[in-house]
Amino acid sequence: MNYFKTALLLAGMTALFLAVGYLLGGSSGMLIALVFALGMNFFAYWNSDKAVLRMYGARQVDKRTAPEFYNIVERLAENAGLPMPKVFIIENDQPNAFATGRNPENASVAATTGLLRRLTWEEVAGVMAHELAHVKSRDTLIMTISATLAGAISMLANFALFFGGNRQNNNNPLGFIGVILTVILAPLAAMLVQMAVSRTGEYRADEVGAQICGQPLWLASALEKIDRSAKQIDNQIAERNPATAHLFIINPLHANKVDSLFSTHPRTANRVARLRQMAGQTEAARPRGPWG
């Protein structure tokens, strides 16, 4: 199902690129946009995960460099019946985490140093189980591609300020109005795509993640801690690249006035309430899962 969603996303983004190109440069602009879109689609499918990890300065770790964290991910992956993903740590004081990769065989999970410092190992297990749930459901493909393409469309729209603002430009059929529409509507359309693929996926990943680690309350506690800290601690890279916000387990944005436009996550209180209800319906008294 997610491959079908990904195909629709790529087609929709390509159409949006063509529309923007036409508004900026008529038929020739549309042709240039088509070439650019095809190149971006190819890059996004094969390299978007690597691009996001590089953007956040993630460093890969193993059993020697981060034994506790690596072992948690290893046990959870075994619980979930998944291949062992690559494990990364991001130097950032804001506690948060995300997963990337086009399929479970090429997946990566990343956590910030703030997450590893501020949460207990049980809560870290809940968070990483949530991220592995995204891998298991193959959400990471569409989430990572949408982040890459949404950022590219925002960049393309910004070009309008420099190359399409001339009222005398005969190649632009709508003139300066077309430029304004491009600058406003292109990032908005990309944002709506992100919201469409993210909100319901978070609820599903919470549920599957709780099953993977065997303790819904571990994830519930982690979400509450991350939510409080994320509102107080800036993630500067995320603020500069808001199109990647939906990748994280909790929205990392809060420092800028426009951040509310990129609110791609359900309310944390609603997620916690669902997990607590789930804990009441399962044997949550004794730790199990990877520590069973």
Could you list the active site residues? 131
Residues 6+ apart with CB under 8 A from 281: none
- Count CA atoms within 13 Å of residue 290 on its CB side: 27
Question: Under a CB-based contact definition with an 8 Å cutoff, are residues 145 and 9 in contact?
Answer: yes
SS3 98: strand
| 3-state SS, one letter per residue, for the chain | CHHHHHHHHHHHHHHHHHHHHHHHHHHHHHHHHHHHHHHHHHHHHHHHHHHHHHHCCCEEECCCCCHHHHHHHHHHHHHHCCCCCEEEEECCCCCCEEEECCCHHHCEEEEEHHHHHHCCHHHHHHHHHHHHHHHHCCHHHHHHHHHHHHHHHHHHHHHHHHHCCCCCCCCCCCHHHHHHHHHHHHHHHHHHHHHHHHHHHHHHHHHHHHHHHCCHHHHHHHHHHHHHHHCCCCCHHHHHCHHHHHHECCCCCCCCHHHHHHCCCCCHHHHHHHHHHHHHCCCCCCCCHHHC
* 237 residue type, one letter: I
Q: And the tokens for 259?
A: 């951040």
